[in-house]
Every structure is written in C-alpha cells, then in structure tokens.
Amino acid sequence: MRRLENKVVLITGAASGMGRATALLFAQEGGKILATDVNRERLGSLEKEIRKAGGEVTALIADMSKEADIEMMIAAAVKQYGTLDILVNNAGVMDNFAPVADLDDKTWDRVMNINVTGPMKAMRLALKIMLEKDSGIIINIASIGGLHGGRAGAAYTASKHALVGLTKNTGYMYGKTGIRCNAIAPGGVATNISEGIDMEHLPVIVNERIMPGMALNPRFGSSEEIAKAALFLATDESAFINGTVLVADGGWSAY
C-alpha cells in the first residue's frame, strides 16, 4: 500500500522547486493533492504531469499574502476532498540579501506576509479541520536561514526564524491531539527561488559577510531530496517526531 493512500494534501508554492517535487512524490504515494501557486503556467504543467502518472490533483491559483486566497484554498480542499490531512507550507520568497540598513518596508512586508503570516493563517484554518478528527500533519518549509544569521538578508532570516518558532509552538501546543507540526530547514537547494536576485550587484557588506560562508557549502541539494524528507515527516514513520526542525543541508551547518 502506498504511504499516503487517500490522504488529502495541500501544498503551497507547488508549481516549481521543492513544492513541485513534493507534489509529484506525494501523488505517487497515493495522496490527493491540492496544489497552489501564483504561477499559472508552471502550475498547469504540474497538474498535467501528476494526472499523466495516474495521480489525483486539483490546481488552484493562490497568493499566500492574501487572506482571501488562503481561505479559498482551505475551503477548496474540504469541498473537493471532504477534509485536509496534511498541510505543506512551502511557498516562500527571498529578500535580495538586503541587510537592515538597506531594507525597505515593501520588501519586509512582502517577505513576512508570504513566509510567516500566510503560513500561520493557513495553519489556523487547517487546525480547525484537524482538531475535529484528532489527526493531522503540518510541515513548514523553513531554512537554515531560520537557524543561523548569515545565510540571507534580514527579512528572510527573520521570517524563517519566526516560522521555526511558529512550528515549535504549534507542535508543542497540539502535541496531545494527534496533530504533529514539524519544519524542514533546507540548505542550498537548486530551485528557482533566487530568480529575482541580482547576484552581480549585491551590497558590499553581503559579499564580505555572507558569501564567504557560501564557500563552505559541501554541495547543493535537489528538490527531490527535500521532498523525501517531507514524505518522512508526512507518514507514521516519523510518529514520534513533533515540534522540531529537520535540517537537510548536506552538512553545511555542521561547520
């Protein structure tokens, strides 16, 4: 029997990178996938691939910075599949490595809304469904930037630290209800999240303080490797793991 047979799974930021790999793997394992993203073309491509492989999927355009979209996608899961078993908060954006002195309000608000506030609102709605049946799994895609200070800009670093704290609090608070909440902290992974970053024109302080640490990274991971970590957290194989962060960085942060 497939490990996620008939489980209803909502994955945000599912159109590319780690979200796409997770959606494909979870569908392969029998999950009924509700895939959301803001990129219509990539989302359509994912939908076709899952269906071609015999999987079950519903694709929705949803912006994690908009509360109405978050409410819509949770409602869609219940309407389409009757419940929600697993929530994977994967959608996220970066901040062009901006340190505090170079950080503008627009960037701060966007990063915090998508990386922290959106996941919180999705969790808040998902928990109401999960508490009614005393079961459910929440997986937040954090970052080693949420455990260290020199892997990204101020906004991204703060957002991922907040997501880690949100994960731990949620895992602990609902630990006796049959609900588990964990995070994955990927290191360098080859995805498209950095598409909007101008690597050739970074502030001098970024090149002085952050880039030397990048050289210590043993290797870049693949989206499929993170998806496998998420599958572990989504199954009973990790039944005793709750309120914690699984680091998947190839040993980068061990230095």
Active site residues: 156
Work out whether the CA dihedral 14, 18, 21, 26 comes out positive or negative. Answer: negative
For residue 142, what are its two tokens?
């954090």
Vertex 63: Cα angle to 103 and 61 (nearest 5): 150
Count Cα neighbours of 133 within 13 Å in the Cβ-side half-sphere: 11
Q: What is the DSSP string of 24-92?
A: HHHHHTT-EEEEEES-HHHHHHHHHHHHHTT-EEEEEE--TT-HHHHHHHHHHHHHHHS---EEEE---
Name the residue among 148, 143, 150, 144 with its Cα closest to residue 206.
150
